[in-house]
Structure 1
Amino acid sequence: MQKYGMTKIFPIDYSKSVEIFEKYGDILKRNQCYMNVWKLFYKTHMFDGWNVSICFGYSIVTAYDSTICVEHAFLMTKGNEILDITCRRKESKYFVLASFTAEEYLNFILQSEITDLSNLRFLQELKKDFEK
């Protein structure tokens, strides 16, 4: 896991973000960023050969004449551009607190203290596939 902190702001690759949403829109829903990242990870092969990281952080949003940071999950390319499949704004910017490879993400979920997912067969099978 790579930790960043809130010192650098990353730009969005808006056109690629829209392309991903259109390609996988049948399994994705607006305003469900954590679930969407999981669905892309679990139900598609988009991570095969992609050089993306799964990120947790904040999206910078302007609303009601104020700028706020909203907790968010999204992807980041090796070129440090954000792929946000739930984004609706071309000018969006992001703080990345932590980024994970696909294998690190799966391990993070398996070791979650919030819920014990370690006994779910499909997660164990995914882990074995990554270890191969």
Structure 2
Amino acid sequence: MRRRDFLLRGVAAGAGLLASPGLHPQDSAGSDSPGIPIIISTWGFGKAANLEALEILKAGGSVLDAVERGVMTAEANPAISTVGYGGYPNREGEVELDAAICEGKTRDGGAVCALTGFRHPVQ
């Protein structure tokens, strides 16, 4: 399967889930959660992104702003070859960037695929 087809199917599946009212998580008000932010990354290079996101939260920023800023940190690092402008070019020699983001409370989201000429597609 081509990368572009995979991404488009993933976005379509995500949009379907967001539009399904029966699948939304219940409000967690009243849970035993202490409300401490937990920020995780799959890869080691995500640590800088996590720290940047945590600073946004400490300053009173929204979770959405924290996630966006964290992603932008990874996108801006040329040493990372799997995300952002440090990524490998396509067969035409252009680096294509993809991004998706979702706001948890409203379930609003957006995604872009195969962008060229943008430093931060998550914006």
TM-score by length of 1: 0.22
Give the structure with the higher percent helix.
Answer: 2
Q: Which protein shows a greater Rg? A: 2
Give the structure with the higher percent strand.
Answer: 1
TM-score by length of 2: 0.23
- Which protein has greater RCO, CA pairs closer than 8 Å, 6+ apart? 1
